[in-house]
Amino acid sequence: MYRDHNCGELTIKNVGENVTLAGWVQRIRNLGSMKFIDLRDEFGITQIVISSENTEIENVLKEVVTESVIQVVGKVVERSNKNNKIPTGEIEIDAEKITVLGKCKNILPFEVNSDKAGDAREDLRLEYRFLDLRNDKLHQTILLRSDVIKTLRDKMYELGFKEIQTPILANSSPEGARDYLVPSRLHPGEFYALPQAPQQFKQLLMVSGFNKYYQIAPCFRDEDPRADRAPGEFYQLDFEMSFAEQEDVLSTMEDIFTTVFKKHTNWDVTKPPFVRIPYREAMEKYGIDKPDLRNPLIIQDATELFKNTEFNAFKGKTIKIIIVPNGGAQGRKFFDNMNEFAIEEAKAKGLAWVKIDENNNVNGGIAKFITPDILEGLKKLGAKQNDSIFFIADEFKTAQKIAGLVRIELGNRLDLIEKNVYKFCFIVDFPMYELSDEGKIDFNHNPFSMPQGGLEALNNQDPLEILAYQYDAVCNGYEVASGAVRNHNPELMVKAFEIAGYTEDDVKTKFGALYNAFQYGTPPHAGAAPGLDRMVMLIADSKNIREVIAFPKNKKARDAMMGAPSKVTKQQLDDVHIQIKDEK
């Protein structure tokens, strides 16, 4: 009824045909005796030509502005001035009839399909997201997301996984972030929680005898927004495998990532097997557990070299260094700017540096504290003529963190990041436990993980020395998946939680279904959860995760278009037995 062709398919072969098109008016050009309209739909653009002799169309055009929706009936003719930049550039439609299907206001909140579209305030774009999504780049990114999901589903079925949906209304569980709570109308004072992940359910599916499960799962975490993390909700490819160990899961992820990235991008993709980097090695060499391997710089420890130093700022501190090949060519302003970055962004006390000239003389920065013995030690660590060296001195973990941020900034400022490549790796051997800010032993990663060494390790080792069968997949500095071999032994499970301060009664209360199920024959199982949003963000080469989500929240976790979160009526609150606390 509305169209017999789309706006991206007519070619010179269609000349002479009578066609009906429908779409959005992208641009109107008035040349007096002739008017031209660029008609757009999801598939492309077709030029419409209107003769001034057609008074009926002229009257209709009086109410047509850009972004109006119209139907065009006319004949396909060959264009005199061809446009080889678009597939339909050899033809145009000589309009015989135009019908307005959807009127548009004269003034748009921002230009929709132009180079200036991205200049609009982000909150304005999010408020009018339905308009923003008409922008071709953003529109194509959302279509890319759909294609990636299809590729993932095809691959998972090829690998023998079955898609099973798990509940959205679940129970509250300590998984590292705040829960979104949903009050129950039927059970006063009790709450559901939106799942941070389908963790317990997918393990219960393994207990139920399913061999390989997956789903494109929505996950909900009440966290502060970040550029690489959507506030409130996100999607992941959640999967679990029975009778599997760590290497089974890692090889499965290698297959998934290489398949998806190779299909949807022309960049180079790491060939399996991906390098496995122990967590502690990653922190030592990169200062972060999600290293960007496109950056060639590494962090080294020089604490021993400065044990007898006269430089007060280094005394008794952990000393991390970053050697920048040929970095000596940089001027003083560069080093001052890096020092400013370290203080303001990395929260360092300062960033020391030196340069080694072509005569092996040490210049600049803290050169006077670089004794011949220290210089010899720096050379053994790889320093050579024309290099620069940056020094970070602080408490061990702080020095690691600051050095990691400095390494990233150096890579960006010196344009050292390898282009057009996806470099994957796995971070393995995460600590099972860590100290919380209050000095309490807490789970480092995932409370349902299998500790390396099993029950014996839990009974006899320092908790902070116990490693877990936990792993992350990392690509270009982003964590793109996380997973673990699961703890499927109830005795071991109770002990693991006891170390983190939970009693057996706590385990039975908070994880009653798992604890109970584990009494009835549980296969060894393992799994992971690649993040869909981050995968698409990387494939689309986008810097902001909101650009790969159709209807994202803003930086304050608000939906500017729908007005969520919003106040509700007293009756609605009464129905779920909730009373709002008076802040006064």
- Domain extent listing, the chain: 12-102, 172-276+425-532, 295-417
Dist CA 368 CA 116 (whole Å): 52
Long-range contacts of 41-45 (CB under 8 A, 24+ apart): 41/6, 41/7, 41/8, 42/6, 42/139, 42/143, 43/6, 43/7, 43/8, 43/9, 44/6, 44/7, 44/8, 44/9, 44/86, 44/87, 44/88, 45/7, 45/8, 45/86, 45/88
Asked whether residue 228 carries a pLDDT value surpassing 80, the answer given is no
Q: What is the mean pLDDT of the chain?
A: 94
Name 435's bridge partners: 441
Tell me the fold of 12-102: OB fold (Dihydrolipoamide Acetyltransferase, E2P) (2.40.50)
Three-state secondary-structure class, residue 558: coil
- Mean pLDDT, rounded, for 435-448: 89
Of 97-101, 132-136, 437-441, give the lowest mean pLDDT range: 437-441
Name 237's bridge partners: 216
Q: Check the CA dihedral 496-502-504-509 and report its sign.
A: negative
- CB within 8 A of 511, min separation 6: which ones? 173, 200, 493
Among 257, 128, 166, 194, which residue's Cα sits nearest to residue 528? Answer: 257
Query: Phi-psi bin for 365: left (phi > 0), alpha (psi -120 to 50), beta?
Result: left
Q: Are 12 and 32 in contact (CB under 8 A)?
A: no
- Mean pLDDT, rounded, for 73-79: 97
- Mean pLDDT, rounded, for 72-95: 96
Percent of the chain clearing pLDDT 70 (strictly above): 98
pTM of the model: 0.93
Give Cα separations from 99 to 2, 10, 16, 113 (angstroms). Answer: 10, 20, 22, 22
pLDDT in tens, 286-339: 999 999 999 999 999 999 999 999 899 999 999 999 999 999 999 999 999 999
Looking at residue 117, what is its pLDDT?
A: 61
The length of the chain, given as a count of residues: 584
pLDDT in tens, 444-453: 888 889 999 9
Three-state secondary-structure class, residue 492: helix
pLDDT in tens, 378-403: 999 999 999 999 999 999 999 999 99
Dist CA 35 CA 22 (whole Å): 18
Asked whether residue 283 carries a pLDDT value surpassing 80, the answer given is yes
Asked whether residue 2 carries a pLDDT value surpassing 70, the answer given is yes
- Mean pLDDT, rounded, for 405-429: 98
Dist CA 87 CA 8 (whole Å): 7
Residue type, 276: R
Element (H, E) at 533: helix 532-539
pLDDT in tens, 130-178: 999 999 999 999 999 999 999 999 999 999 999 999 999 998 876 567 8
DSSP secondary structure of 137-191: HHHHHHHHHHHHHHHHHHHHHHTT-EE----SSB----SSSBPEEEE-SSSTT-E
Architecture per CATH, domain 172-276+425-532, reads as 2-Layer Sandwich (3.30)
- Mean pLDDT, rounded, for 84-108: 95
Looking at residue 446, what is its pLDDT?
A: 84
Comparing 78 with 556, the larger pLDDT belongs to 78
Architecture per CATH, domain 295-417, reads as 2-Layer Sandwich (3.30)
Q: Which two tokens stand for residue 463?
A: 């908790």
